[in-house]
Structure 1
Amino acid sequence: MAFGSFDSKRHQGPMAEINVVPLVDVMLVLLVVFIITAPLLTNAVKIDLPKASSTANLTQPEHIEFGIREDGSLFWNGEKVEEANLHQRFLKEASKQPQPELHLRADRYAHYELVAKVMSEAAKAGMIRIGFVTDPRP
C-alpha cells in the first residue's frame, strides 16, 4: 500500500496498481448468493403422466399445380384454363376442407402482372396457402 505524505521533496508519481480487494469482496458475495440459490432452481414437481401411444398424422392435403407460361397461358394441374374461369375454380377449391395448397409455377420470363393477378384472384376467393415453386438448379 502506498501512503502519501506532505513532504514535497519525496514526491512520487501516481500509484499505478489496481486495488483488487473490493473486486474480491464482490465476487465472494456473488459466489455465496449463487451457492444458496442454485439448489432452489433444480427442484421440480414429480408428476406421473399417463401413457398413450399415437402416430403422427401424415395426411398431406392435396395441392393445385398452377402454371404460368411466358406467353400468358395458364395451366391448372396441366390443363389449360382461361383467366375468366379462375375465380370460380378458386372459390370451389377454397371451400374444401382441408383447403388445398396452391403451388405457382411461373416461367422465368412471365410477366409479373399476370402472376400478381392470379395470386390476387386466389386470395379474394379465400385461398390462404399459396406458394411459389422454383428450380434449385443454377
Structure 2
Amino acid sequence: MEPMQPPAAKRRPIAEINVVPYIDVMLVLLVIFMVTAPMLVQSVQVNLPRVDSAPVEIEPDDNTIIVSVNQQGVYFIERDDDQPAAMTLIQVQDYITKVKAEVPTTRVMIRGDERVAYGKVVRLMGGLQVAGIADVGLITESPDPEVTE
C-alpha cells in the first residue's frame, strides 16, 4: 500500500512585479541617449542683447576689427581702408589669426546685411572661433521709433 500524501496546498499567485527586465531596458536606453545626445545639437554661442540695454558706441581702434558681410554673402574686413577688398572665409581666418597673434586683446565685431543668409554669418562666427576669437560682437542699427512693424 502506498503511503498517503497530504493534500496539495493551494498555490497562490505571485503578486510581485519582476522589475529586472525593466531596469535592463532603462539602462540600455540611458546609454543610447548618452551617446547620441552630444551629436544632436551643434550650436554657436551667441550672447544676445537685452531689450532694455542702451546702445554702445564703438570707436574702431587698433584693437577692433570689423568684419562685414554684404547682401551677396561676401566678407570684407574694415580697417583703415576706404574701399576694403572682398575676402573669402579662409582669408578672413588667416588675417584674424595673424592679428590676434600680434595683439591678443583684439576685438572682432560683425556687421551683417539684414538680407544676407543666416548661414553666412554663422560660418563667419565659426571661422572666427577657429581663429581663436572667443567673443564676437554683432553690430546692429537701432530701430527707427517712428516706424512700427
TM-score by structure 2 length?
0.48
In structure 2, the partner of 1:83 is 89
Residue 136 (str. 1) matches residue 137 (str. 2)? no
Q: Residue deviations 1:46-96, cap 9 Å, x none?
A: xxxxxxxxxxxxxx7621111101111111113321223122112112213
The separation in 2 between residues aligned to 1:83 and 1:122, in whole angstroms, is: 9
In structure 1, the partner of 2:65 is 64
Runs of 5+ unmatched residues, structure 2: 1-60, 79-83, 145-149
Residue 74 (str. 1) matches residue 75 (str. 2)? yes
Aligned structure 1 segments of 4 or more residues deviating by more than 6 angstroms: none
1:62/1:101 contact within 8 Å kept: yes
Runs of 5+ unmatched residues, structure 1: 1-59
In structure 2, the partner of 1:105 is 111
Residue 96 (str. 1) matches residue 97 (str. 2)? no
The separation in 1 between residues aligned to 2:89 and 2:133, in whole angstroms, is: 17
The separation in 1 between residues aligned to 2:111 and 2:134, in whole angstroms, is: 17
Q: Identity of aligned pairs, percent? A: 18
2:112/2:121 contact within 8 Å kept: yes
2:63/2:103 contact within 8 Å kept: no
What is the Cα-based RMSD across aligned positions, in Å?
1.7
Counterpart AA for 1:136: S
In structure 2, the partner of 1:122 is 128
Aligned residues: 79
TM-score by structure 1 length?
0.51
1:93/1:99 contact within 8 Å kept: no
